[in-house]
Amino acid sequence: MLLGYTTGVFDLFHIGHLNLLRNAKSICDKLIVGVTTDELVSYKHKKAVIPFHERVEIIRSVKYVDSVIAQESMDKFEVWRKVKFDVMIVGDDWYSSDKWSDYEKQFKEVGVKIIFFPYLKGTSSTIINQTLQNLRLDNRQ
């Protein structure tokens, strides 16, 4: 059985999130998804709109997801030590970054393959947040 793992904040759930989960499930038998805790979201200097426990329930309800865990650390290898996944699925917006190049080397040593899926351009939680903020500002005038 091939165990897959992917992770994300999954705030303001949108088609890019769904595509990632669908594609991730297509390459593994069981998909575990790490949902970033509210405390850890601050690493992006942001605050999630949807609270952690609600984001977990949203992801848990997606038919492509077999299990959901809290992502409490940015250290993906720490998660691997606990879960022992075979493949990690990541958006290609991280491709060729120093951090992920290091992860690729580290995971290769334990037989884990990292697969980068295309990042959906044009739809993101950041863009949705900016649009909502602009609409709120427009409505004040």
Are the beta carbons of 8 and 36 closer than 8 angstroms?
Answer: yes
Distance, in Å, from the CA atom of 113 to the CA atom of 85, rounded to the nearest integer, reads 9
69-119 pLDDT, tens digit per residue, is: 999 998 999 999 999 999 999 877 665 667 777 888 899 999 999 998 876
The residue ranges of every structural domain in the chain are: 3-140
11-67 pLDDT, tens digit per residue, is: 989 888 999 999 999 999 999 999 999 999 987 677 888 999 999 999 999 999 999
Q: How many CB atoms lie within 10 A of CB 29?
A: 11
24-34 pLDDT, tens digit per residue, is: 999 999 999 99
CA atoms within 13 A on the CB side of 115: 18
pLDDT at residue 33, rounded to an integer: 98
Classify domain 3-140 at the CATH topology level: Rossmann fold (3.40.50)
